[in-house]
């Protein structure tokens, strides 16, 4: 099982699709398009920030816990399905979710009680995964690291209204905080091998040569882990070199 991590706009969905197509495996995408809670969450953030600015220090986002449990449930379902095959790929996974809930609790968007209940639910799901997959952790975690500037450019390009700084200027602080939490998450992550992809250096979305470089990096790591045969890697590498000439 391969999981892809990264901040909003880092290119997780694109890389998930590229890698699944390359390996002939199944991609599992983050539930965004069919997520009725996500726009409500962003609106709830805006309302909560205005209330705090007006003096209500205890104002929370009423949709935070709902959003996080929605994601947790969907990702749990996807992980159970992905565990049934080899080298299936998840666009974000259950292993990042606790970071988002912790950040929203620190921000005051969720209560300490909600965070506690969420943690208990997550622990139970992780325990259940042990019975589905011999080891509850992925075989490879790929983290796409991008700067704030790259993050914002890609958010603007994909055009989801509720993610735009023009819609909610308060998202500047939220996005910068998210990058700091990802830095801490990266340092603490120890459940599986972790491969870092420099999303500022390699534009695998637009640049074919960068795309080949990133795919080579990932596939070489899979060979090192015994999850991809060397001759298959050589074949894939040759096929891609022919298409970019």
Token look-up 């909003």 returns 8
Query: How far is Cα 163 from Cα 2, in angstroms, rounded to an integer?
Result: 27
Chunk the chain into consecutive blocks of 10 residues (it has 245) and report each block's average pLDDT, rounded to whole numbers: 93 94 92 83 88 90 94 91 89 90 92 95 88 69 96 88 83 92 95 94 92 96 94 92 72
- Per-residue pLDDT at 22: 93
pLDDT tens per residue, range 77-123:
998 898 888 899 999 988 888 899 999 999 899 999 999 999 999 99
Q: How many angstroms separate the first and last alpha carbons of the chain?
A: 32
151-167 CB burial, b ≥16 within 10 A, e <16: bbebbeeeebeebbeee
Tell me, what's the pLDDT at 122?
Answer: 93
Please name the CATH architecture into which domain 2-206 falls.
3-Layer(aba) Sandwich (3.40)
Q: Does residue 91 carry a catalytic annotation?
A: yes
Query: Residue 207 CB: number of other CB atoms within 10 A?
Result: 13
pTM score, whole prediction: 0.88
Q: How far, in Å, CA of 170 to CA of 173, rounded?
A: 6
pLDDT at 86: 86
The pLDDT value given to residue 14 = 93
Cα–Cα distance for residue pair 40/66, rounded to 1 Å: 10
Q: Given 56, 91, 200, 231, which residue is catalytic?
A: 91
Secondary structure element (H or E) that encloses residue 185, with its range: helix 171-188
Do the Cβ atoms of 166 and 46 come closer than 8 Å?
Answer: no
Query: How much is the pLDDT for 26?
Result: 94
**Cα gap 118→105, rounded to integer Å:** 11
Q: List strand residue ranges (DSSP E) for the chain, in order.
A: 2-6, 27-28, 89-91, 140-145, 194-198
Alpha-carbon distance of 108 to 101, in angstroms, equals 11
CA–CA separation, 213 and 203 (whole Å): 10
* Residue with the two structure tokens 């890698």: 19
CA 95 to chain centre: 9
Give the residue ranges of the annotated binding site for substrate. Answer: 30, 42, 68, 92, 97, 163
For the chain, give every domain's residue range. 2-206
Mapped onto helix, strand or coil, the DSSP state of residue 181 is helix
Q: What pLDDT does residue 191 have?
A: 87
């Amino acid at each position: 099982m391969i999981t892809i991590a990264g901040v909003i706009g880092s290119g997780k969905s694109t890389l998930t699709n590229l890698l699944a197509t390359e390996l002939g495996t199944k991609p599992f995408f983050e539930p965004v398009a069919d997520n009725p809670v996500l726009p409500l969450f962003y609106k709830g953030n805006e309302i909560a920030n205005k209330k705090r600015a007006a003096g209500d220090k205890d104002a929370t986002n009423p949709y935070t816990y709902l959003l996080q449990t929605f994601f947790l449930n969907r990702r749990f379902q996807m992980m159970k399905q992905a565990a049934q095959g080899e080298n299936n790929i998840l666009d974000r996974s259950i292993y990042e979710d606790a970071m988002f809930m912790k950040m929203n609790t620190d921000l005051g968007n969720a209560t300490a009680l909600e965070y506690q209940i969420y943690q208990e639910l997550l622990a139970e799901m992780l325990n259940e995964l042990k019975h589905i997959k011999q080891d509850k952790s992925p075989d490879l975690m790929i983290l796409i690291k991008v700067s704030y500037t790259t993050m914002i450019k890609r958010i603007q390009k994909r055009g989801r209204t509720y993610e735009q700084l023009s819609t909610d200027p308060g998202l500047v602080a939220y996005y910068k905080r998210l990058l700091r939490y990802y830095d801490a998450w990266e340092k603490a992550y120890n459940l599986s091998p972790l491969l870092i992809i420099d999303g500022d250096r390699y534009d695998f979305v637009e640049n074919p040569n960068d795309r080949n470089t990133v795919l080579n990096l990932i596939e070489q790591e899979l060979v090192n882990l015994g999850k991809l045969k060397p001759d298959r890697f050589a074949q894939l590498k040759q096929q891609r070199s022919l298409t970019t000439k």
